[in-house]
Copies of this chain bind each other. A is one copy, B any other.
Amino acid sequence: MKALTDRQKILLTLIVREHTRTAQPVGSKTIVAQFGLKLSSATIRNELAAMTELGYLRQPHTSAGRIPTEEGYRYFVSNLVQQTSLPSSTRNTISHQFYQSQQGLDHWLKLAASVLANQSQSASIVTAPHSQRALFKHLELLSVHSDRILMVLVLVGGEIRQRIFSIGEALNQETLSRQAAMLNALCMNKTAPFIAGLDEQLDEGGRRILGMLVEEMNESSHLVTGQVYLDGVQKLLTEPEFAESENARSAMRLFELRPTLDDLLSRTVLKSAIGGVQVLIGGEGQWSELRDFSIILTRYGVPEQISGTLGVIGPMRMPYGHAIGTVRFVSELLSELVTNHLIEE
């Protein structure tokens, strides 16, 4: 990342600010006029040419103003952005909404997605938190239909998983209940590997059930199995850069956002720690569907125990300072709620 002079830094900041506001390329005259610099437009032009050379700016066509490149945004976010936090009145209002709602996790996550989307005026994503190491809490086995068994598994932390399976032979409810009672006694607060080790103590039928149980527990410790709440995707359509291009294409891309995000979440986010905010600009070369978007992500939850992901998705020219502040605030709020209400003591 090539160094910029102080004056160039100021110019980059101004261009980002202006372009974020207007969605238009920014010309040398505009810069002088808007910000009252003590320089002529010709000087600015020279600087702009240099910064274009460095790869931080580009021109949509030869006689247009400049817009930041991905590289330009990246420099801006790393070195120049000023994080703004929400006004405390807004923060209070939002907190209230969460604490008033007694409707449980599902509702909180929806609310979080909605708050993020509204505050940032763009799309938002929130994934349900899940245990990082799945700990067994309770198992229920129910006979559903001849040889089909419904397994309901509750993990420490309150996560519930269900599965219907068959072990080939019909078992009556009594047998199943006995099996469940035994497993409940053996597995309390245990992890999947430990439970897998109980194998030897069981008979044939018990092993089959144990296999399913272990499979289910492992699955839940992988990623994005739970609900994913997406909100405000249609807000992206109001952005001029997407309204411009050919109709179908741009909107189609929004519908393809979902699978791309799932992929992105499962690959990127696990690495980061709770609290750290990641900014992904223009798909970072990896996700071509996100070429025109920027994504701000963070994890929330309780370190080492339970965590989920949340963030906002907007056009590259999003107001980064504000978006980062919002994401951080909502994630702290959710972390607090999750800590207070879902964790075992």
A163-198: CB near B (< 8 Å → 1, else 0) gives 110000000000000000000000000000000000
Task: In the complex, identify which listed stretch (A89-97, A147-155, A263-271, A286-294) lies at the interface while the others stay far away.
Answer: A147-155
A154 and B154 within 8 A (CB)? no
Task: In the complex, identify which listed stretch (A9-17, A42-50, A135-143, A327-335) lies at the interface while the others stay far away.
Answer: A135-143
CB neighbours of A223 from chain B (8 A):
none
A164 and B104 within 8 A (CB)? yes
Q: Pick the contact of A164 from B138, B148, B158, B343 — CB < 8 Å? A: B158
Check A138/B140 contact, CB under 8 A, given A251-B251, A255-B233.
yes
A118, B142: Cα distance in complex, Å:
36
What is the interface size of chain A, counting residues whose CB is below 8 A from a CB of the partner? Answer: 38
Q: Most B CB atoms within 10 A — which of A105, A154, A238, A244?
A: A154
Using a CB–CB cutoff of 8 Å, the interface residues on chain A facing chain B are 104-105, 137-138, 140, 142, 144-146, 148, 150, 152, 154, 158, 160, 162-164, 233-234, 237-238, 242-244, 247-248, 250-252, 254-256, 341-345
The 5 A-B residue pairs with the shortest CB-CB distance in the complex, in nearest-first order: A251-B251, A234-B255, A247-B247, A237-B248, A243-B248
24 A–B contact pairs at CB < 8 A? A104-B164, A105-B164, A137-B142, A140-B154, A144-B158, A144-B344, A145-B343, A145-B344, A145-B345, A148-B341, A150-B154, A150-B158, A158-B164, A160-B160, A164-B341, A233-B255, A234-B255, A237-B247, A237-B255, A238-B252, A242-B248, A244-B247, A247-B251, A250-B251
